[in-house]
Structure 1
Amino acid sequence: MEFEMFSEVSLKEDMAEYDLPKGTQAIIVDYCPRPAGTEAGYVLEVLNEEGKAFTVIAVAASKIEPIAVSMPY
């Protein structure tokens, strides 16, 4: 799956190497293309509980999913 720059995503699984649990929210800040046959990745700004960036990590595209935005009616 390809994501748009600056879209909000969440981690699909625990990322022990960064001490981040599944569901941690982040914003995509860069795309990391890879050679054919290997998985592309993204650089993420990880958000804290207040929604402010507190760290930057790089992950494979398969490790993140979009955050559904619900519209109030």
Structure 2
Amino acid sequence: YVVGGEGEQTVAGETREVSAGEMIFVPEGVEHGTVNTNWEPLKLLAVYAPPGPEQQLADLPECEIIPPGELPTRDD
């Protein structure tokens, strides 16, 4: 669910623009990605059912947990 901001969501090779108030469904095992296309933060609420994949994401070497209240920086 897009809580705030604007971006692009790609699911199974199909990309579309998303913004606040929209729901995004990603079937299990389908390749997907999200890109913020604006200067404002893109805020998403992700629900995993059944639970578990969030730990796999946290275990990735490039995963960085950002403390509440801090904004992410982009290293290009």
TM-score norm. by structure 2 comes to 0.26
Structure (1 or 2) with the larger CA radius of gyration: 2
Structure ranking higher in strand proportion: 1
